[in-house]
Amino acid sequence: MPGEMRSRGAAVGGRAAGDGPAAGAEVRSVPVKLGDRSYDVLVGPGAVSGLHGLLPASARRAVVVTQESVPVEVETGLPTTVVRIPESEAQKSLATVESCCREFARVGLTRSDVVVSVGGGLVTDLAGLAAALWHRGTAVVHVATTLLAQVDAAIGGKAGANLPEGKNLVGAFWQPSGVVCDTDTLRTLPEAEWRSGRGEMAKYAFIGVEGLAGLPLTEQVVRCVARKAEVVSADEREAGARMVLNYGHTLAHALEAAGIAGGDRPMRHGEAVAVGLVFAARLAFRLGRIDDERVAEHEAVVSSYGLSSRLPGGEAPAGLLEYMYRDKKARGRLTFVLDGPSGVEAVTGVEDPDVLAVLEEMASKLGQEVA
Ligand SMILES: NC(=O)c1ccc[n+]([C@@H]2O[C@H](COP(=O)([O-])OP(=O)(O)OC[C@H]3O[C@@H](n4cnc5c(N)ncnc54)[C@H](O)[C@@H]3O)[C@@H](O)[C@H]2O)c1
Ligand SMILES: [Zn+2]
């Protein structure tokens, strides 16, 4: 099981959002072990009140990077400037990173100061990149306010921005000095964002975190964070083992890139991951890596999170395959992350006809037209 977890009492000072820690609830601390770049992730109701303890002692000033629609205020205990960045993924750009850095310049942020991101994965990715670039590397602490950012994006030090040519094509590995996953901040999260986070959580069921269903939310987040921490500690720069975190993501990225609608709106990342998990299971079954019971398990986990494993219409299998090839992780032939006798692992050399057959099976099974 994932690395050690320490508990801290919940009575850690005032809170910035919500009504205070629930009685008896406690803030947990999960370490991410990376030698001299190790840090703690605080998880639980009211965890944001522990923010100050995660800031580097050298910091004399903070810049908070957030968005208008994130209703979370933080107390850094330092002179603080708040920068609000645009809401849309279309503006997850180098231009936005530049505008953050210009704001850092305007307020005189030094290399020993700190950037604090407060938001979902879009904010933590962009603020992380701005911090990585500012004076060639300034400390950043992430306050993750979406479920997806708490269980995934804010942990592990991948920062990035999109180019018109593709998502997350520019970025850096820049570990935060600490991360806060205050579960109280999720109270205001729209249902679509909950669904998205649950899709990412469903992934963990197949990469070593079984039995999440029914546990208290804090415990679920703690276990996902601990697993991610364990994977990142073993392979910080995605030389191999970290690939397991991309389980379900090959098709998910294609669905997102194709802008495919789930229901009447574009799919959120985790919703696409949910479909991608079932696709990966079916592909693994076709390749003789797993049996049909294991495929059914994938479908059951996805539906237990209230998510659909339905391949939405709108893009023919051949089009989705094309998007998979465009994904930055495809080098020549497609690499999939697939379940198998020794668990989830990267599998190279999957043939196009197998991929197409599974996509067609998923599309036709649901009575959709396949062009
Ligand atoms: N670095 C990584 O390892 C990693 C991993 C997964 C995803 N990502 C990135 O994360 C991004 C997606 O992140 P996301 O799913 O968190 O979406 P997001 O950051 O776009 O947030 C979704 C929406 O929720 C709003 N919001 C955030 N917190 C809120 C709160 N507490 N209450 C109400 N509204 C709130 C945001 O303003 C936004 O409108 C993508 O850009 C993706 O590339 C990065
Ligand atoms: Zn993901």
Q: Which domain holds residue 359?
A: 247-365
298 is catalytic: no
Does 370 map to a domain? no
- pLDDT computed for residue 21 by the predictor: 45
Whether residue 129 contacts residue 104, with contact meaning beta carbons closer than 8 Å, is answered with no
| Ligand 1 binding pocket mutation candidate from 87, 146, 203 (most atoms within 8 A of CB) | 146
CA dihedral for 259, 260, 263, 264, sign (positive or negative): positive
> Do 186 and 284 sit in the same domain of this protein?
no
Kindly give, in sequence order, each residue whose CB lies less than 8 Å from that of residue 175, ignoring residues fewer than 6 positions away.
Answer: 32, 34, 37, 39, 156, 157, 236
Does 371 map to a domain? no
Q: Which of 183, 213, 234 is the last residue of a domain?
A: 234
**Could you tell me the pTM of the whole model?**
0.91
> Is residue 225 scored above 70 in pLDDT?
yes
Whether residue 267 contacts residue 256, with contact meaning beta carbons closer than 8 Å, is answered with yes
> Do 21 and 120 sit in the same domain of this protein?
yes
Supply the DSSP symbol for 279: H
Does 241 map to a domain? no
Q: Which of 171, 203, 234 is the last residue of a domain?
A: 234
> Which ligand is nearest the CA of 153, by number?
1
Residue with CA closest to ligand 1 atom 41: 122
Residue with CA closest to ligand 1 atom 9: 121
Q: Which backbone phi and psi does 6 adopt, to 5 degrees?
A: -105, 155
Name the pLDDT band for 315 (thresholds 50, 70, 90).
Answer: confident
Does 288 map to a domain? yes
Which of 26, 142, 198, 246 does the annotation list as catalytic? 246
Measured between alpha carbons, how far is 103 from 108 in angstroms, rounded to an integer?
8
Does 122 map to a domain? yes
Q: Name which of 216, 218, 215, 201 is nearest 149 in CA terms.
A: 201
Whether residue 111 contacts residue 79, with contact meaning beta carbons closer than 8 Å, is answered with no
Q: What is the pLDDT of residues 336-358, one digit of tens each?
A: 999 999 999 999 989 999 999 99
> Which ligand is nearest the CA of 147, by number?
1
Measured between alpha carbons, how far is 262 from 314 in angstroms, rounded to an integer?
10
> Is residue 19 scored above 60 in pLDDT?
no
Does 146 map to a domain? yes
Average pLDDT over residues 243-265: 87
Does 41 map to a domain? yes
> Do 25 and 119 sit in the same domain of this protein?
yes
> Do 121 and 255 sit in the same domain of this protein?
no
Q: For the chain, first and last CA: distance in Å? A: 45
Which of 195, 242, 268, 282 does the annotation list as catalytic? 242
Measured between alpha carbons, how far is 114 from 117 in angstroms, rounded to an integer?
10
Task: Report the percent of the chain where pLDDT is more than 70.
Answer: 89
Measured between alpha carbons, how far is 281 from 206 in angstroms, rounded to an integer?
10
Q: Which of 199, 234, 269 is the last residue of a domain?
A: 234
Q: What is the CATH number of the domain that holds 67?
A: 3.40.50.1970
> Do 38 and 156 sit in the same domain of this protein?
yes
| Adjacent-strand bridge partners of 179 | 41, 142
Q: What is the pLDDT of residues 21-75, one digit of tens each?
A: 444 469 999 999 999 999 999 999 999 999 999 999 999 999 999 999 999 999 9
Ligand 1 binding site (Cβ under 6 Å of any ligand atom): 67, 69-72, 87, 89, 92, 119-123, 125, 145-146, 148-149, 152-153, 156, 158, 168, 185-186, 188-189, 193, 196, 269
Using CA atoms, how far residue 152 sits from 47, 80, 310, in Å, is 17, 27, 23
Whether residue 185 contacts residue 150, with contact meaning beta carbons closer than 8 Å, is answered with no
Ligand 1 centre and the CA of 279: distance in Å? 24
- pLDDT computed for residue 333 by the predictor: 76
> Do 195 and 301 sit in the same domain of this protein?
no
- Domain total of the chain: 2
168 is catalytic: no
> Do 228 and 289 sit in the same domain of this protein?
no
Q: What is the CATH number of the domain that holds 350?
A: 1.20.1090.10
Does 1 map to a domain? no
**Pick from 203-207, 226-230, 262-266: least confident:** 262-266
> Do 230 and 343 sit in the same domain of this protein?
no
Q: What is the pLDDT of residues 130-167, one digit of tens each?
A: 999 999 999 999 999 999 999 999 999 999 999 988 88
> Do 300 and 334 sit in the same domain of this protein?
yes
